[in-house]
Amino acid sequence: AQKVTQAQTEISVVEKEDVTLDCVYETRDTTYYLFWYKQPPSGELVFLIRRNSFDEQNEISGRYSWNFQKSTSSFNFTITASQVVDSAVYFCALLSGSARQLTFGSGTQLTVLP
């Protein structure tokens, strides 16, 4: 069975602070993909990143960075120098080898205060 846990329900930071959103996953498959999606207040879900299980190299995209650690089954997301526009719900998701659909975590509501 596949499971994604986002233990942080809500996080509030002040603008320019760094913030890390945690994601822990469970799967028995050796081949799988991990994702982060952003849901801004407007409601749509926006794809941010995909990482496959064979690539543990961390990735940086501007102020966003992702830390994938198979040893702890975690795929954490860090926003550096947060901005008010980063306020959104962030979802971590898993697609494992035996499944054909994404399993989403429950989401983390991030609020960045000016």
**Cα dihedral angle (90, 106, 10, 63), rounded to 10 degrees?**
-20
| Shortest separation between residue 48's beta carbon and other proteins, angstroms | 10
Asked whether the CA dihedral 71, 98, 109, 62 is positive or negative, the reply is positive
Q: Which is nearer to other proteins, 82 or 107 (CB)?
A: 107
Q: Which is nearer to other proteins, 38 or 80 (CB)?
A: 38
Q: Which residues bind other proteins (CB under 8 A)?
A: 33, 35, 37, 42-47, 50, 52, 91, 93, 95, 100-102, 104-107
